[in-house]
Amino acid sequence: MDIGDTPLWTREALQAATGGSLQGEPHSVTGASIDTRTLQPGDLFFAIRGETRDGHDFVRSALEKGAGAAVVAQGRAGEFSSFGPVLAVPETGEDPVLDAMRAIGRAARARSHAGIVAVTGSVGKTGTKEALRHVLSAQGETHASVASYNNHWGVPLTLTRMPENARYGVFEIGMNHAAEIVPLTAQVRPQVALVVTVEPVHIEHFRSLSAIADAKGEIFSGLEPGGVAIINRDNPNFPRLLAHAQASRAGRIVTFGEHEEADVRANRIVTRPDLSVVDATVMGVPVTYQLGTAGRHVAMNSLGVLAVVHSLGADLARAAISLAGLKPPVGRGERTALTIKEGEAFLVDESYNANPASIRAALSTLAGIEVTGRGRRIAVLGDMLELGPSSEQHHRELADAVRANGIDLVFTAGSMMRHLFEALPVANRGAAAATSAELVDAVLDRLRPGDAVMVKGSNSIRMGRIVEAVKARYASATDPRDAQLKAAP
C-alpha cells in the first residue's frame, strides 16, 4: 500500500468480503466510485453494468486516473491486469460487480459502530438527510449519502464509502415500485428509520396512495432489534405506517407533527422570507429554534430531524442550535439576489424535482416572500412525471394552489403543465412552451425589479436551464439575505 491516508479498505478486507482475488499491488483505497467522470485517485472503481453501458468499458480509464483498484468480473480480469490492480470477483448473479459492491457494503455495515439512520418519504427525504448530516456533523464524524444516492446502486455505494470510525451514518432510501426498499433497508440495518411523509409521487406504479404508504413502510423491516421507527403523525396514512412499524423489530415508535398526540410537536411555526422559527416540544422538553431555510414544509421536517437526534442519544440542544446554519442545497430552495434595471429581484431555485405536494409547498414558500414596488410573485413550472392516468388532473388542480397563494404570474413548460396554464385566469398566464428551453426567453423578458420568481419541475424537464439563464443575465453580487431583509415587514 502507498503511504498516505488510512485506507478505507485493505486487500484482505476486500477479498474476504467478496470472495475475490486482488491481482497486483493496490494503491491506498480511500474512496469508491462507479463513474470515471467523478473518480478521484484512490477510489475503488466498480465496473457495474448500467442501462446502456458496461462499466468494464471504463476500467482502463479508471486505472489511468489513479483508481486504488478496479472491481471486475473474474472472466474479464485478464483484459486489465497490465493497466493496474484489479479485484476479480466470482461471476454469480446478473451483475457480479454490483453483487460485490453489495457484499463490501454489508462488510462496511458489519464493522461499523456508528449510529445508523435510514430516511425515506415521498417528498423531502434528501433535504431531511442533508439536515441530519448538518446537525450530526457538529457532534461527530458523520457519513451520509451523496446527492440522492438512494437506489439499488446508490445505497451499497454509500455503505462502501462509510469509514470504519464514523460516529453517525445517514442513508437516504428511495423507491419507484413496491418491494424496492426491503433489500436496501436490509443492507443499511438502521437503528433509527424515518418516514418523512407519504404523497402521490411515482403513483403511476401504484394502485393507490395507501400502496405508496405500504412501500414506504418497508423501511421499518430493516430496523435493528429494539430500534426506533419515526413517523409523521399528521399524514393521513399514519395508521398504515404505524402498522408497519408495529410489525417490525422496533422497540419504540416516535411520532412528529402538529398533532396534539405527536411525541415531537410543533406548537408554533413562524415563517420569514429566508428563515423559520419553530417553537416545539421534543419528548416533553420545550425547544425553540431557528431554521436557516424558509418554508413550512422544511420546518415540519425539522421535527423529524430532532426526533432522530433524540433517538440516537445525541445532544438535542446542540442540534437545535445547528439548524440555524442549515442552507438549502442547489435546486432545493437555493436563493439568489438579482439585479434588474438597477432594481432588486429574487430567485428561488426549486428545480431539482417536482410532484404535487412539493409544488404546493414551493408555492406556499413563494407566497411568504415580500415583493416590492411593482414586483410580482412568479412561478415557472415544468411537468410533474410518474403520476399515471391522473396526471392531467394533478396538473390542473394546481390552479387552486396558485390562487390560494396569491401567485401573480405562471409560466409553464411541458404538455402536462399546459393543463394548469389553461386552468388559470388570463391575467395570471405568463407563457407556456413545450420545453424548458423554449420558455427561457419568455421568462427573461418578463422579469422586472421587485419580482420574486420560483422555478420548479421534474428532473427530466430540465428546469435548471431556466435558473442558469436567469442567473447568467441578472444574478447580483448581493447576499440574497440582504435583499430579503429589506423586503421583510
Contact between 413 and 438 under an 8 Å Cβ cutoff? The reply is yes
pLDDT at 194 over 80: yes
- The mean per-residue pLDDT over the stretch 288-297 comes to 88
> pLDDT tens for residues 113-165?
999 999 999 888 989 999 999 999 999 999 998 878 999 999 999 999 999 99
Q: Which residue has the cell 418491494?
A: 179
Q: Which is more confidently placed, 281 or 386? A: 281
Q: How high is the pLDDT of residue 481?
A: 41
- The answer to whether the Cα torsion of 29, 54, 146, 175 is positive or negative is negative
Compute the residue count for the chain: 489
Average pLDDT (396-411) is 96
Percent of the chain with pLDDT over 70: 95
Q: What pLDDT does residue 398 have?
A: 97
pLDDT of amino acid 477: 52
Check residue 202 and give its pLDDT: 67
- Band (pLDDT 50/70/90 cuts) for residue 480 is very low
User: Stretch 205-222: mean pLDDT, rounded?
Assistant: 92
| Whole-number average pLDDT of the chain | 92
Query: What average pLDDT does the segment 62-81 reach?
Result: 96
Distance CA 356, CA 409 (A): 18
Is pLDDT larger for residue 479 or for residue 272? 272
Question: All 3 cell numbers of residue 385?
Answer: 412525471
Q: What is the mean pLDDT of residues 229-251?
A: 97
Q: Where are the alpha helices (DSSP H) in 248-353?
A: 296-312, 316-322
- Given a cut of 60, whether residue 407 has pLDDT beyond it is yes
C-alpha 459: how far from chain center: 13
Confidence band of 487 (pLDDT split at 50, 70, 90): very low
**Residue 381 pairs with which residues in a beta bridge?**
412, 456
Average pLDDT rounded to a whole number, residues 251-256: 98
Q: Which of 214, 184, 51 is nearest to 105 (CA)?
A: 184
Beta bridge mates, 433: 413
Q: In angstroms, how far is CA 360 from the centroid of its own chain?
A: 18
pLDDT value for 257? 98
Q: What is the pLDDT of residues 426-468, one digit of tens each?
A: 999 999 999 999 999 999 999 999 999 999 998 889 999 999 9
Q: Check if the beta carbon of residue 276 is closer than 8 Å to that of residue 291.
A: yes
Checking if the pLDDT of 204 tops 60, the result is yes
Q: How many Å apart are CA 282 and CA 35, to the nearest integer?
A: 42
> From CA 310, how far away is CA 116, in angstroms rounded?
13
36: left (phi over 0), alpha (psi -120 to 50) or beta: alpha
pLDDT (tens digit per residue) in 95-127: 999 999 999 999 999 999 999 999 999 888 989
CB 183 within 8 A of CB 160: no
Q: Kindly report the pTM of this predicted structure.
A: 0.81
